Structure 1
Amino acid sequence: MERYWKVGYLARITGLTVRTLRFYNQIGLLSPSGQTESGHRLYNEADLARLQQILSLKELGLSLEEVKSVLDSEQISPLEIVNLQMTRIREQIKVQQKLLEQLQHVSRQMQGKAPLAVEDFTQLMQSMKISHEKLVIERRTSWEYRLDALGDFLADDTTE
């Protein structure tokens, strides 16, 4: 037997707001599979799986329009989306792990009342900078991709 959830319950179990789910429905990103006699939206397991893909793609830096395009084109499988997200998280963990190691080293030095060498501070600052730069690069790449997509869309729109 197929299970259905009302929008309020789906919001609660996913950590999203009802407003967000309604907006996703409004823009055609996530439409409920059913409706009660009184008009309440009902979501099933397939809708929940699509919602997971939406959130994963958003976390990878795609806009809602890009997410919709990717999901509607079916060029990327749900497994590929999960694998992309895992790869990104592994990269983030490596960067954060390096920063944590540098901080732990400096903390040990300070706890032992040992004088910190210039290299300790410079290595720590380099790790902090790399962590920050990675975030900035990801945001810049996302914006560049969005601008390219917008340019392609506008070019296609003017040629019709």
Structure 2
Amino acid sequence: MTISELFFVQALSIDTNKKTVTFDDGLIQCYDQILIATGSKSLDCPGVDLENVLMLETAEDARCIHYACVGCRTVVVGTSFVVAAYMINMASSITIIGSSELPYQKTLGPEIGKVTMMMLEERGVTFYMNDAVAEVQGENRRVKSTGSFVPKTTRQSFFWKLVA
């Protein structure tokens, strides 16, 4: 299997019948399978360098997260339903902290956000929406959200000071 990675390019169109992508520089790339990674901002606050605060940026990061979340209570910063759905059968619990009222509210609309959130809540995922992480601190293996505590993980967790 050959994997091609293209960075800092803009895809103008995807033809799913011909299985091609046309880029802004004129390149037309054929594909068998395609992964579209639009990118996101990394968590940028004090404490992100602590042990067990993991960022998902590479395939190796995904492997580390896979092994780290097995049997653990997991906190996901950002409303990635893909990450949450993947972890549902591995983590003992999942808490998602999102900055919007609903997942994908701005990109896919409130209807899809509501359905996504409802489906994940039915599987036991807890949401803290309209919130953002200001700081991560190791303290008594507890994770604190605005005014309430998220259960501690089975390994090491962190005190999260959140801003509403």
- Under a length normalisation based on structure 1, what TM-score does the superposition of the two structures give? 0.24
More helix by share: 1
More strand by share: 2
